[in-house]
Structure 1
Amino acid sequence: MSNTEILSTLKEIADPKHSALIIIDAQHDFCSEKGAMAQRFGFDMKEIREAVPRLNKLIEVCREAGIFVVWVREIFSDKRMHSNQKSIWGGGDDIWLIPEGGKGTDWYEGMIKPLDSEPVVTKWQYDAFQGTDLERLLQANGIKTLLMTGFTTNVCVESTARHGYEKGYYIVLASDCSGTPTPAEHEAAVFNIQTYYGKAAKSAELMELWQKGSMKKVA
């Protein structure tokens, strides 16, 4: 994306007319206590579970504001994985995280579901631009800004935000609508994104911008 106009304020950058809500990997294996991440590593998913209702609310408000909503899900497929991936996540029948055809790739049960009109992008790597049609969708809809949400903040959300920045998109992380198993991971990712790649804001601040103060009481 190339653009000569320079946007500076959050209001300008997060204008619904040119923003897309990007929902990264709100899936069973990344969010559920019964998912692979929690089961394999013993992670407490409390931080992620608490972010889900806020993300659901943000999705609803984005729909009302006419913001383009894009869902992204990750699948590990043996035929698409590199050898370095397989060394971490397993290969063939031993893939233990988000394996193709497994329950781990399903949307987390606490999430509202995509509307038929909302595109679902399947990615095979951390980065939602790599090997997908995400950029084509964004260009077709005149998008300048990516409102980043989802799981986990420091891996797939940050990887996509970095690539989006390098492609020329403005980046805004909805910091309370993304999450990681530990606060330290999340805080590090928020710092990186708001320092080097764009802005970070709470969902209430974004919704207040769009609804002219009607969301002031949202926690």
Structure 2
Amino acid sequence: MSLTSIDDNAALVVLDLQVGTAGLPSVPNAMSEIIDRSVALAEAFRKKGLPVIWVNVAGGSTARKEVTDPGGSLPENWTELLPELKVQDSDKTFTKYAMGSFHDDRFSELLSELKVGQLVLTGVTTSFAVESTARGAYDRSINVVVVGDAVGDLDATVNNHALESVLPHVAEISTTDEVLAAVR
């Protein structure tokens, strides 16, 4: 699905652009490109009077999982949003504790308070935070747009699979330029 419109009740949701993810490889879009495009979208959404929500992750699911210990510890400030995002006082911030933003009722409640009916998603990673949040929104009958050139993943094949095979079933896939044109 390509972009049809940006609704009057849309919100920009930027996922996991924080100190702890800034050094990760991101393909096919570099982290710097994702940041720049997210900032440009945030400025346009603010100018139009639409909400901007910056989401960070601070931990993971407590469900049992067998994973290899990556070694080392996370920096103390790993959950902090990146300063280059230029978060404004009028913006909302949301801390999640799982892969997707809808892991408990708090995110749904925030969207309800803001009267949001459409999410425009950017950030990292496409196959985890972006896909999980898109699915959660779709399950709640919220329209979803994924900005394909403002998301990235650790692996290009995984990123492309999500954007080409999975996400089109629950979201419109667009570009930064298309969203900017629709918001203006």
Alignment TM-score, normalising by the size of structure 1 = 0.73
Q: Please say if 1:88 is aligned against 2:67.
A: yes
8 Å contact from structure 2 (residues 34, 122) kept in 1: no
* SS of equivalent to 1:72: strand
Structure number with larger C-alpha Rg: 1
Q: Please say if 1:105 is aligned against 2:79.
A: yes
Output one character per residue of 1:139-170: Cα deviation in whole Å (capped at 9) or x when no partner: 12221111011111111111110111011111
Q: 2:170 aligns with which of 172, 197, 201?
A: 197
Q: 1:152 aligns with which of 125, 128, 152?
A: 125
Using the TM superposition, give the Cα deviation of residue 132 of structure 1 relative to its aligned residue in structure 2, in angstroms. Answer: 4.9
What is the distance in 2 between the residues matched to 1:44 and 1:168? Answer: 30
8 Å contact from structure 1 (residues 144, 170) kept in 2: yes
What is the distance in 2 between the residues matched to 1:18 and 1:177? Answer: 21
* SS of equivalent to 2:39: helix
Using the TM superposition, give the Cα deviation of residue 194 of structure 1 relative to its aligned residue in structure 2, in angstroms. Answer: 4.5
What is the distance in 1 between the residues matched to 2:88 and 2:72? Answer: 30
* SS of equivalent to 2:30: helix
Q: 2:43 aligns with which of 44, 60, 63?
A: 60
Distance 1:73 1:132, change over 3 A: farther
What's the % identity of the aligned pairs? 24
* SS of equivalent to 1:104: coil
What is the distance in 2 between the residues matched to 1:44 and 1:136? Answer: 31
* SS of equivalent to 2:62: coil
- Which residue is equivalent to 1:20? 11
5+ unaligned residues in a row in structure 2: which ranges?
Answer: none
Using the TM superposition, give the Cα deviation of residue 18 of structure 1 relative to its aligned residue in structure 2, in angstroms. Answer: 0.6
Q: Please say if 1:70 is aligned against 2:44.
A: no
5+ unaligned residues in a row in structure 1: which ranges?
Answer: 1-7, 33-37, 212-219
Alignment TM-score, normalising by the size of structure 2 = 0.86
- Which residue is equivalent to 2:4? 10
Distance 1:205 1:128, change over 3 A: same
8 Å contact from structure 1 (residues 21, 68) kept in 2: yes
What is the distance in 2 between the residues matched to 1:202 and 1:44? Answer: 17
What is the distance in 2 between the residues matched to 1:89 and 1:27? Answer: 23
> What amino acid does structure 2 have at the position aligned with 1:28?
V
8 Å contact from structure 1 (residues 173, 193) kept in 2: no
Supply the RMSD in Å over aligned alpha carbons.
2.5
What is the distance in 2 between the residues matched to 1:51 and 1:44? Answer: 9
Instruction: Answer 1 or 2: which has greater helix percent.
Output: 1
What is the distance in 2 between the residues matched to 1:135 and 1:89? Answer: 32
8 Å contact from structure 2 (residues 37, 150) kept in 1: yes
Using the TM superposition, give the Cα deviation of residue 10 of structure 1 relative to its aligned residue in structure 2, in angstroms. Answer: 1.3
* Residues 176-215 of structure 1: pairs in structure 2 closer than 5 A: 176-211=149-184
Using the TM superposition, give the Cα deviation of residue 95 of structure 1 relative to its aligned residue in structure 2, in angstroms. Answer: 7.8
Distance 1:139 1:44, change over 3 A: closer
- Which residue is equivalent to 1:29? 20
